Amino acid sequence: MCGRLSQYRGIHDFVAVLSIPDALINPVGEQPLARYNAAPTDQLALLHLEDDGLRADKVRWGWRPHWAKDRAAPINARIEKVAHGPFFRAIWPHRAIVPIDNWFEWVDTPGKARQPWLIRRQDRAPILCAAIGRFPAHDTPPREDDGFVIITADSAGGLLDIHDRRPVVFSPQLAREWLDRATPPERAEQMALFQGEPSEAFEWYRVGKAIGNVRNQGAELIEPLP
Protein backbone atom coordinates (compact mmCIF):
# COMPACT_ATOMS: atom_id res chain seq x y z
CA MET A 1 0.00 0.00 0.00
CA CYS A 2 1.36 3.38 -0.94
CA GLY A 3 1.25 6.40 1.31
CA ARG A 4 -1.66 8.42 0.00
CA LEU A 5 -5.38 8.36 0.78
CA SER A 6 -8.58 10.46 0.94
CA GLN A 7 -10.64 11.29 4.00
CA TYR A 8 -13.18 13.89 2.91
CA ARG A 9 -16.51 12.99 4.56
CA GLY A 10 -17.53 14.32 7.95
CA ILE A 11 -16.61 12.18 10.97
CA HIS A 12 -20.29 11.53 11.72
CA ASP A 13 -20.70 9.96 8.26
CA PHE A 14 -17.96 7.50 9.16
CA VAL A 15 -19.25 6.82 12.68
CA ALA A 16 -22.80 6.16 11.44
CA VAL A 17 -21.59 3.10 9.53
CA LEU A 18 -20.22 1.55 12.74
CA SER A 19 -23.58 1.78 14.58
CA ILE A 20 -21.89 2.13 17.98
CA PRO A 21 -24.55 3.34 20.44
CA ASP A 22 -22.21 5.35 22.70
CA ALA A 23 -22.10 9.10 22.29
CA LEU A 24 -19.11 10.24 20.26
CA ILE A 25 -16.38 12.30 21.91
CA ASN A 26 -15.38 14.44 18.99
CA PRO A 27 -12.42 16.83 19.08
CA VAL A 28 -12.26 16.45 15.28
CA GLY A 29 -15.22 18.79 14.69
CA GLU A 30 -18.45 18.74 12.75
CA GLN A 31 -17.28 19.89 9.32
CA PRO A 32 -16.29 17.61 6.42
CA LEU A 33 -12.67 16.53 6.76
CA ALA A 34 -12.01 17.54 3.12
CA ARG A 35 -8.67 15.75 2.78
CA TYR A 36 -8.52 14.44 -0.78
CA ASN A 37 -4.76 13.92 -0.82
CA ALA A 38 -3.55 12.93 2.66
CA ALA A 39 0.09 11.92 3.03
CA PRO A 40 2.38 10.48 5.74
CA THR A 41 2.83 12.68 8.84
CA ASP A 42 -0.56 14.34 8.20
CA GLN A 43 -2.99 14.47 11.09
CA LEU A 44 -5.82 12.10 10.13
CA ALA A 45 -9.07 11.33 11.91
CA LEU A 46 -9.22 7.94 13.59
CA LEU A 47 -11.66 6.20 15.94
CA HIS A 48 -10.70 4.43 19.16
CA LEU A 49 -12.42 3.31 22.34
CA GLU A 50 -11.32 4.70 25.70
CA ASP A 51 -12.79 4.60 29.21
CA ASP A 52 -14.96 7.59 28.38
CA GLY A 53 -16.33 6.04 25.17
CA LEU A 54 -15.75 6.22 21.44
CA ARG A 55 -13.36 9.01 20.50
CA ALA A 56 -12.56 10.67 17.20
CA ASP A 57 -9.12 12.29 17.24
CA LYS A 58 -6.71 13.67 14.70
CA VAL A 59 -3.49 11.71 15.01
CA ARG A 60 -0.25 11.76 13.01
CA TRP A 61 0.02 9.08 10.33
CA GLY A 62 3.24 7.32 11.23
CA TRP A 63 4.75 5.91 14.43
CA ARG A 64 8.02 4.49 15.71
CA PRO A 65 9.17 3.36 19.16
CA HIS A 66 11.36 5.69 21.22
CA TRP A 67 14.44 3.55 20.56
CA ALA A 68 14.14 3.83 16.77
CA LYS A 69 14.84 7.55 16.32
CA ASP A 70 17.47 6.72 13.70
CA ARG A 71 14.86 5.73 11.11
CA ALA A 72 11.78 7.19 9.51
CA ALA A 73 8.50 6.43 11.23
CA PRO A 74 6.66 3.66 9.32
CA ILE A 75 3.12 4.42 8.17
CA ASN A 76 2.10 0.78 7.63
CA ALA A 77 2.65 -2.50 9.48
CA ARG A 78 2.55 -5.95 7.90
CA ILE A 79 0.05 -8.20 9.65
CA GLU A 80 2.42 -11.14 9.18
CA LYS A 81 4.86 -9.50 11.64
CA VAL A 82 3.06 -6.83 13.62
CA ALA A 83 1.67 -8.99 16.43
CA HIS A 84 4.95 -10.61 17.41
CA GLY A 85 7.83 -8.39 16.32
CA PRO A 86 9.55 -6.00 18.75
CA PHE A 87 9.05 -2.84 16.69
CA PHE A 88 5.28 -2.54 17.24
CA ARG A 89 5.02 -4.48 20.51
CA ALA A 90 4.16 -1.40 22.58
CA ILE A 91 1.20 -0.39 20.42
CA TRP A 92 -0.18 -3.77 19.30
CA PRO A 93 -2.76 -3.71 22.14
CA HIS A 94 -3.95 -0.21 21.15
CA ARG A 95 -6.31 -0.71 18.24
CA ALA A 96 -8.12 1.87 16.13
CA ILE A 97 -10.08 2.25 12.93
CA VAL A 98 -8.99 4.77 10.33
CA PRO A 99 -12.08 5.51 8.22
CA ILE A 100 -11.23 6.63 4.68
CA ASP A 101 -12.99 7.19 1.39
CA ASN A 102 -10.31 5.73 -0.87
CA TRP A 103 -6.59 5.15 -1.21
CA PHE A 104 -4.18 5.52 -4.12
CA GLU A 105 -1.56 3.32 -5.72
CA TRP A 106 0.99 4.03 -8.45
CA VAL A 107 1.56 1.50 -11.24
CA ASP A 108 4.69 1.38 -13.37
CA THR A 109 4.00 1.67 -17.09
CA PRO A 110 6.92 0.80 -19.41
CA GLY A 111 8.24 3.92 -21.09
CA LYS A 112 5.83 6.24 -19.31
CA ALA A 113 5.47 8.04 -16.00
CA ARG A 114 3.93 6.03 -13.18
CA GLN A 115 0.13 5.99 -13.36
CA PRO A 116 -1.89 6.67 -10.19
CA TRP A 117 -4.99 4.59 -9.49
CA LEU A 118 -7.79 5.21 -6.98
CA ILE A 119 -9.24 2.27 -5.01
CA ARG A 120 -12.62 2.52 -3.27
CA ARG A 121 -15.45 0.27 -2.18
CA GLN A 122 -17.85 -0.70 -4.93
CA ASP A 123 -20.78 0.30 -2.73
CA ARG A 124 -19.10 3.69 -2.01
CA ALA A 125 -19.33 3.01 1.75
CA PRO A 126 -16.52 4.17 4.04
CA ILE A 127 -13.42 1.99 4.12
CA LEU A 128 -12.72 0.92 7.71
CA CYS A 129 -8.96 0.32 7.96
CA ALA A 130 -7.44 -1.58 10.88
CA ALA A 131 -4.79 0.45 12.69
CA ILE A 132 -2.73 0.50 15.88
CA GLY A 133 -0.94 3.33 17.63
CA ARG A 134 -0.75 5.76 20.53
CA PHE A 135 -3.73 8.09 20.81
CA PRO A 136 -4.96 10.94 23.01
CA ALA A 137 -6.97 9.72 26.00
CA HIS A 138 -9.53 11.54 28.14
CA ASP A 139 -8.57 15.24 28.28
CA THR A 140 -4.82 14.76 28.06
CA PRO A 141 -2.91 16.96 25.61
CA PRO A 142 -1.27 15.35 22.55
CA ARG A 143 2.06 13.65 23.20
CA GLU A 144 5.17 13.66 21.06
CA ASP A 145 4.90 9.91 20.50
CA ASP A 146 1.23 9.91 19.45
CA GLY A 147 0.81 8.34 16.02
CA PHE A 148 -0.61 5.35 14.19
CA VAL A 149 0.15 2.82 11.47
CA ILE A 150 -2.31 1.10 9.13
CA ILE A 151 -2.13 -2.69 9.07
CA THR A 152 -1.58 -4.19 5.62
CA ALA A 153 -1.93 -7.65 4.08
CA ASP A 154 -1.07 -9.29 0.78
CA SER A 155 -3.28 -8.23 -2.10
CA ALA A 156 -5.38 -10.78 -3.95
CA GLY A 157 -7.51 -10.94 -7.07
CA GLY A 158 -7.49 -7.93 -9.36
CA LEU A 159 -5.99 -5.73 -6.67
CA LEU A 160 -2.73 -7.60 -7.12
CA ASP A 161 -2.39 -5.92 -10.54
CA ILE A 162 -2.35 -2.52 -8.79
CA HIS A 163 -0.12 -3.27 -5.79
CA ASP A 164 1.05 -6.31 -3.84
CA ARG A 165 -0.08 -4.86 -0.47
CA ARG A 166 -3.35 -3.33 0.68
CA PRO A 167 -4.88 -2.17 3.95
CA VAL A 168 -6.75 -4.65 6.13
CA VAL A 169 -10.36 -3.46 5.79
CA PHE A 170 -13.13 -4.66 8.07
CA SER A 171 -16.88 -4.88 7.77
CA PRO A 172 -18.69 -2.68 10.34
CA GLN A 173 -19.36 -5.70 12.56
CA LEU A 174 -15.70 -6.73 12.62
CA ALA A 175 -14.58 -3.12 13.02
CA ARG A 176 -16.65 -2.90 16.21
CA GLU A 177 -15.03 -6.09 17.48
CA TRP A 178 -11.57 -4.78 16.57
CA LEU A 179 -12.21 -1.59 18.55
CA ASP A 180 -13.59 -3.43 21.57
CA ARG A 181 -10.84 -3.55 24.19
CA ALA A 182 -12.30 -6.82 25.49
CA THR A 183 -11.33 -8.52 22.21
CA PRO A 184 -8.25 -10.68 23.00
CA PRO A 185 -5.06 -9.91 21.03
CA GLU A 186 -5.08 -13.44 19.61
CA ARG A 187 -8.56 -12.91 18.22
CA ALA A 188 -7.57 -9.51 16.79
CA GLU A 189 -4.62 -11.10 15.00
CA GLN A 190 -6.80 -13.80 13.46
CA MET A 191 -9.31 -11.20 12.30
CA ALA A 192 -6.61 -9.17 10.58
CA LEU A 193 -5.02 -12.24 9.03
CA PHE A 194 -8.13 -13.92 7.67
CA GLN A 195 -11.25 -11.72 7.85
CA GLY A 196 -10.42 -8.57 5.94
CA GLU A 197 -12.75 -7.57 3.12
CA PRO A 198 -12.03 -9.43 -0.17
CA SER A 199 -10.80 -7.74 -3.31
CA GLU A 200 -14.27 -8.18 -4.83
CA ALA A 201 -15.54 -5.49 -2.44
CA PHE A 202 -13.46 -2.84 -4.25
CA GLU A 203 -13.20 -1.10 -7.58
CA TRP A 204 -10.34 0.94 -9.02
CA TYR A 205 -9.72 3.40 -11.82
CA ARG A 206 -7.01 5.70 -13.14
CA VAL A 207 -6.81 9.30 -11.93
CA GLY A 208 -4.78 12.30 -13.00
CA LYS A 209 -1.15 12.72 -12.06
CA ALA A 210 -1.92 15.86 -10.03
CA ILE A 211 -2.45 13.54 -7.04
CA GLY A 212 1.33 13.11 -6.96
CA ASN A 213 1.80 16.63 -5.57
CA VAL A 214 0.91 16.63 -1.86
CA ARG A 215 0.02 20.33 -2.04
CA ASN A 216 -2.88 19.57 -4.37
CA GLN A 217 -6.30 19.15 -2.74
CA GLY A 218 -9.84 19.10 -4.09
CA ALA A 219 -12.54 16.80 -5.41
CA GLU A 220 -11.12 16.94 -8.94
CA LEU A 221 -8.25 14.70 -7.77
CA ILE A 222 -10.55 11.70 -7.37
CA GLU A 223 -12.27 12.03 -10.74
CA PRO A 224 -11.57 9.15 -13.18
CA LEU A 225 -9.54 9.79 -16.29
CA PRO A 226 -11.61 9.71 -19.51
Q: What is the pLDDT of residues 70-107, one digit of tens each?
A: 889 999 999 998 999 999 999 999 999 999 999 999 99
2 catalytic? Reply is yes
State the catalytic residue, choosing from 2, 189, 197, 203: 2
Instruction: Note down the domain range covering 152.
Output: 5-222
105 catalytic? Reply is yes
d(CA 201, CA 133) in angstroms, rounded, equals 26
Q: Does position 138 have pLDDT exceeding 70, yes or no?
A: no
For the four alpha carbons of 24, 29, 95 and 50, in that order, the dihedral sign comes to negative
CATH number at residue 214: 3.90.1680.10
Query: Rounded to two decimals, what is the model's pTM?
Result: 0.94
Q: Does position 182 have pLDDT exceeding 90, yes or no?
A: yes
d(CA 131, CA 20) in angstroms, rounded, equals 18
State the catalytic residue, choosing from 30, 80, 105, 186: 105
- Structural domain count, the chain: 1
